[in-house]
Amino acid sequence: MKKALCASVALATMALATTPAYAGTAELLKRLHEKGILSDEEYAELLAEENKPSPAAAAPSGDTMTRATESVDSSRMVRMASSGIGLEVGPATITFSGSVNGFYVHDNPATPTARTAVTGGIASVGSNNSSAIRNGLLPGFLKVSVAAKQSGWDVGATFGMYPGINSTAYGALGANNGGQPTALATAGIDFRQTFMTFGKPNVGTFKIGRDIGLFASEAILNDITLLSSGTPGNNVAPGNTTLGRIGVGYIYTDFQPQITYTSPNFKGLQASVGVFQPLSSLTGPAESNSAPGFQGKVTYDGKFGDVAARLWVSGITQKHDLVGGGEYTGSGVDFGGKVTVGPVTATGYYYTASGLGTTVLGLFDTGAPQTGPGIAKRDSSGFYAQALATFGKLSVGGSYGESRLDYASNADRLANPNLLDVNSSYVGQVRYGLTSWVTLIGEYVHSKAVAHSGNKAESDAVAVGGILFF
């Protein structure tokens, strides 16, 4: 009972204090007694505890606040976090962060002919326009992180929930399945992050759990369409997200189970390497993989006079064991850089891969079309270039990108005449920082898909909306 009362006193201190400094404990007990929060018996008991001689009473003069609160068990104390949105509970810091966004997206297929079949194309087809109120490339998210220092180690845990605003038709892809724009349907929650970390400044950091991958992560994190729409994808029945530049300049990195290690920062240079859950292709033959996947990334951040730069290179490799016999290894490498000079930030990115695929379904999809020993692999490549200029609260930007896919063999060519040759898009974007949390965004996107057969599809889209971060 006594411990519970002490904890109540600590919590009440937060509620009643009118300045960042704590009131004296005896005075606080008096105020709680006067307000009827403490009974006569509880007040007398706690006051007696407060008046007991302690080592603190004989200590030399020091911080008054520290001496006044030494009788309260600090492991039970709740305090406001020193930064961000959160609180400190005993030795742990709990922080909350999140985002909400929504856009009106109008998509207009611009190819009126029947020759629009492109396997793996990202441009909308058909004769009808479509309108949607939907998420952009990001769904919403709520992240909760807990951090503490224990036995000399910095330890932490993160949970990240990513709900969309559109209703989802649950299937093989879970919350990332196609949309279901009907009454009484429900939105999907993509629980992308569940991981723990432990490390030391001079040792580095280990991560175990589910989080964003290493390969191609810089491509999407530096893409200006990350905060907006980019290519809409299925705008008639929108799912959790649009496509942004996924499949139109880079392959989606995805959030994957992993054990990774990140080195200390050596004057701007940092490296990460990880062992990953092996992924089976969604569109290929059944797999029973015996070995994990591997990914790595190296980044460099530096400043040269008035020029700030971030450079990176990353790679991925994974062996695929097919249930029907045969095997192949999918692999890829990418590199890029971001340079900021005055109000302008320019970004360039390139990737090349074999057996990794290039379209929007994810890593390794469309990477290998055949089965059996000596399986052939499709090569792929892509790039994007962009610039964003910021003047006060107003930013204006643009980007262009392509993703290409090659046939694995003549047999592949004969079997898949309408296979994608190249996806491309260009984007024009305007942002306005309404507040430190809210950014309003307007965007125009032209998307184009061309097959090896010559078939093509084009579409034009306009997106207007906003995104909030806290």
Mind listing the pLDDT tens digit for each residue in 406-448?
998 888 889 889 999 999 999 999 999 999 999 999 999 999 9
Name the DSSP letter for residue 233. S
Residue 5: name the closest of 44, 36, 41, 46 by CA.
46
Burial per residue of 406-442, b for 16 or more beta-carbon CB atoms within 10 angstroms, e otherwise: bbbeeebeeebebbbbbbbbbbebebeeeeeeebebb
The per-residue pLDDT for 147 is 97
CA atoms within 13 A on the CB side of 85: 9
What predicted TM-score, i.e. pTM, was given to this entire model?
Answer: 0.80
The per-residue pLDDT for 28 is 62
- Looking at the predicted structure, is the pLDDT value of residue 86 above 70? yes
Amino acid at 412: D
Distance CA 34, CA 417 (A): 85
3-state SS track over 183-231 = CCCCEEEEEEEEEEEEEECCCEEEEEEEEECCCCHHHHHCCHHHHCCEE
Q: Could you tell me where the DSSP H helices lie in 290-419?
A: 410-415
425 close to 448: Cβ distance less than 8 angstroms: yes
Q: Which stretch of DSSP H or E encloses residue 21?
A: none
Q: Distance of CA 97 to CAs 209, 223, 225, 410, Å? A: 19, 21, 21, 51
Distance CA 263, CA 199 (A): 10
Distance CA 227, CA 427 (A): 13
- Looking at the predicted structure, is the pLDDT value of residue 12 above 60? no
- Looking at the predicted structure, is the pLDDT value of residue 234 above 70? yes
User: Ranked by mean pLDDT, which of 57-66, 87-96, 276-285, 301-310 comes out on top?
Assistant: 301-310
Distance CA 112, CA 116 (A): 9
Distance CA 469, CA 462 (A): 23
Least confident range of 27-31, 157-161, 370-374: 370-374
Quote the percentage of the chain above a pLDDT of 70.
79
Amino acid at 165: I
- Looking at the predicted structure, is the pLDDT value of residue 282 above 80? no
Question: Which tops the pLDDT comparison, 129 or 73?
Answer: 129
Which bin fits 282, alpha (ψ -120 to 50), beta or left (φ > 0)? alpha
Per-residue confidence band for 13, with pLDDT thresholds at 50, 70 and 90: very low
Least confident range of 168-182, 277-291, 304-318: 168-182
Per-residue confidence band for 35, with pLDDT thresholds at 50, 70 and 90: low
Residue 231: name the closest of 361, 315, 136 by CA.
136
Q: What is the total residue count of the chain?
A: 470
